[in-house]
């Protein structure tokens, strides 16, 4: 059983503690039944199960409550809990929230009514299509375009590394509309997967299997109403969405790390070496202590950022970047230590810690690579000091 003492921290309200306990029970009972051999099929089954049992309701506010804020603490607790049990379940949950994020935060009433009811029920799968091969981290340099033609928008371009690419029902696509150079000339659009001209040109295989694809948009015609917010708002929409969800990437990493620590404690208590359990070796204890310290530090940063957002801090750019940077980097170290403490069994293909070792890696890259988070934190600090 994982350490749940953090739930007593003052960041949480009673509803968060109830939510975490109920999801823990559900995950323990339900996730084992999902066949994980094919990632696409598993994700469809997972989104169906999560939706059926109501766990996706927190991924977007109800469509009829435009002021309904996302509960970032509940999102983070959900991701931590699901990641501890099953990385693909966490991925599925996370993408229902991130994919629909721009619609949740900035969508029109019609966009919210059309999509959020379905993403919250698990009957529609969304994708967030920002990254391009030639610009990557330099989002302001993206080259996909959207131009007005009468009462329509025409979108052209190609996106890569798109989670849910190939299984999504709707893509939120960021494209250049040209109101101003770079960041101030981007806009966001709701593009149903059935739009003529939208093609999945390559399915991408990562070291931890997720639905991922390179997706092309060739003269995709969209109604004028497909734009999210106003022309030129795209960069702001992308960054505000990432501000919310970066904290939850840290929460997923925390879930992976907590599981790796639990597995290490179990093996160190049970494995006999040199006439006693491994846990009695002081160098082993030192590793366990460092791992526990990393886990608690990550939890403090993740739930600090979530609490700050939920209690009214308008932008949590610095806090979210700190949470993501520390929790993902620390989880990599904790999981590596757990693999080491498992000895040869740690690298057995299909084992729990081997799976965690593969699953954590991408979290240090997507939604802003670790060094990009460092740049964000440094800029925020320098701006506060009035030096930048
Ligand atoms: C599994 C997975 C899922 C993904 N899902 C999505 C998705 O759903 N939607 C989406 O739009 N994108 C998605 N991505 C893309 C992801 O966001 C990008 O891979 C990421 O932003 C980095 O872009 P890049 O791969 O082009 O690397 P690059 O931008 O080329 O960066 C490579 C490296 O260069 C360094 N670097 C780059 N910029 C800086 C800087 N300013 N300062 C210091 N160092 C820097 C860092 O070390 C960085 O890791 C996903 C990626 C992966 C791996």
Q: Among residues of the chain, what percentage have pLDDT more than 70?
A: 98
- Helix, strand, or coil (residue 142): coil
Ligand 1 atom with the shortest distance to the CA of 135: 26
Best residue among 94, 136, 211 to mutate for probing ligand 1, ranked by most atoms within 8 Å of CB: 136
> Is the model's pLDDT at 363 over the cut of 90?
yes
**What CA–CA distance (Å, rounded) separates 5 from 56?**
25
Instruction: Give the pLDDT confidence score for residue 67 in this predicted structure.
Output: 66
Neighbours of 137 (CB within 10 A): 12
Using the predicted structure, report yes or no on whether residue 130 has a pLDDT greater than 90.
Answer: yes
Q: What is the pLDDT of residue 276?
A: 98
Phi and psi, residue 230, nearest 5°: -105, 160
Is residue 302 within 8 Å of residue 247, measured between CB atoms?
A: yes
Q: Say which residue, 262 or 67, is predicted with more confidence.
A: 262
What's the gap in Å between 364 CA and the centre of ligand 1?
9
Out of 24, 294, 329, 367, which one is annotated catalytic?
367
Q: Model confidence over 21-41: pLDDT tens digits?
A: 999 999 999 999 999 999 999
From the CB of 371, is ligand 1 less than 6 Å away? yes
Categorize the per-residue pLDDT at 304 as very low, low, confident or very high, splitting at 50, 70 and 90: very high
Overall average pLDDT of the 326-344 stretch = 98
Beta strands per DSSP E along the chain = 126-129, 145-149, 152-163, 170-176, 186-192, 198-203, 212-223, 227-228, 272-273, 276-277
Distance 4 CA to ligand 1 centre (A): 33
Using the predicted structure, report yes or no on whether residue 385 has a pLDDT greater than 70.
no
Q: Which of ligand 1's atoms lies nearest the C-alpha of 136?
A: 26
Q: Is 140 in the pocket of ligand 1 (CB under 6 A)?
A: no
The per-residue pLDDT of the chain, averaged, comes to 96
Separation of 362 CA from ligand 1 center, angstroms?
A: 9
What's the mean pLDDT in 94-114? 96
List the residue whose alpha carbon is closest to atom 1 of ligand 1: 362
Does the C-beta of 129 come closer than 6 Å to ligand 1?
yes
Q: Is pLDDT of 388 > 60?
A: no
User: What residues form DSSP beta bridges with 276?
Assistant: 273
Report the alpha-carbon distance of residue 219 to residue 221 in Å, rounded.
Answer: 6
Say whether 367 is catalytic. yes
Q: Using a cut of 0.95, tell me whether the model's pTM lies above it.
A: yes
Residue 74, pLDDT > 60, answer yes
Per-residue pLDDT band at 386 (split at 50, 70, 90)? low
């Amino acid at each position: 059983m994982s350490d749940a003492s953090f739930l007593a921290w003052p960041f949480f309200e009673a509803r968060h503690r109830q939510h975490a306990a109920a999801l823990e029970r559900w995950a323990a009972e339900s996730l084992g039944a999902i066949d994980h051999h094919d990632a696409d099929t598993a994700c469809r089954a997972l989104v169906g199960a999560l939706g059926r049992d109501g766990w996706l309701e927190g991924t977007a506010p109800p469509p009829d409550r435009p002021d309904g804020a996302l509960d970032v603490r509940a999102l983070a607790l959900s991701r931590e809990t699901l990641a501890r049990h099953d990385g693909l379940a966490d991925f599925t949950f996370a993408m229902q929230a991130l994919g629909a994020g721009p619609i949740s935060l900035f969508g029109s009433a019609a966009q919210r009514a059309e999509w959020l009811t379905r993403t919250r029920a698990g009957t529609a799968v969304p994708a967030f299509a920002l990254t391009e091969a030639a610009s990557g981290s330099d989002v302001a340099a993206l080259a996909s375009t959207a131009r007005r033609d009468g009462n329509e928008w025409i979108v052209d371009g190609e996106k890569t590394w798109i989670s849910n690419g190939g299984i999504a029902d709707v893509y939120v696509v960021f494209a250049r509309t040209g109101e101003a150079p770079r960041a101030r000339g981007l806009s966001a659009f709701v593009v149903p997967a059935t739009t003529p001209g939208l093609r999945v040109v390559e399915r991408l295989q990562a070291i931890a299997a997720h639905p991922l694809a390179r997706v092309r948009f060739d003269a995709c015609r969209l109604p004028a109403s497909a734009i999210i917010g106003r022309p030129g708002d795209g960069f702001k929409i992308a960054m505000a969405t990432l501000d919310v969800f970066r904290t939850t990437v840290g929460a997923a990493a925390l879930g992976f790390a907590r599981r790796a620590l639990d597995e290490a404690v179990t093996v160190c208590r049970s494995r006999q070496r040199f006439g006693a359990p491994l846990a009695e070796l002081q160098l082993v204890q030192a590793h366990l202590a460092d791992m526990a310290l990393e886990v608690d530090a990550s939890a403090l940063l993740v739930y600090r950022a979530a609490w700050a957002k939920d209690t009214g801090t308008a932008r949590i750019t610095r806090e979210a970047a700190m949470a993501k940077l520390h929790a993902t980097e620390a989880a990599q170290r904790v999981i590596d230590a757990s693999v080491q403490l498992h000895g040869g069994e740690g690298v057995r293909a299909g084992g729990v810690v081997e799976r965690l070792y593969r699953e954590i890696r991408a979290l240090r890259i997507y939604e802003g690579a670790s060094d990009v988070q460092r740049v964000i934190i440094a800029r925020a600090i320098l701006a506060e000091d009035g030096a930048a």
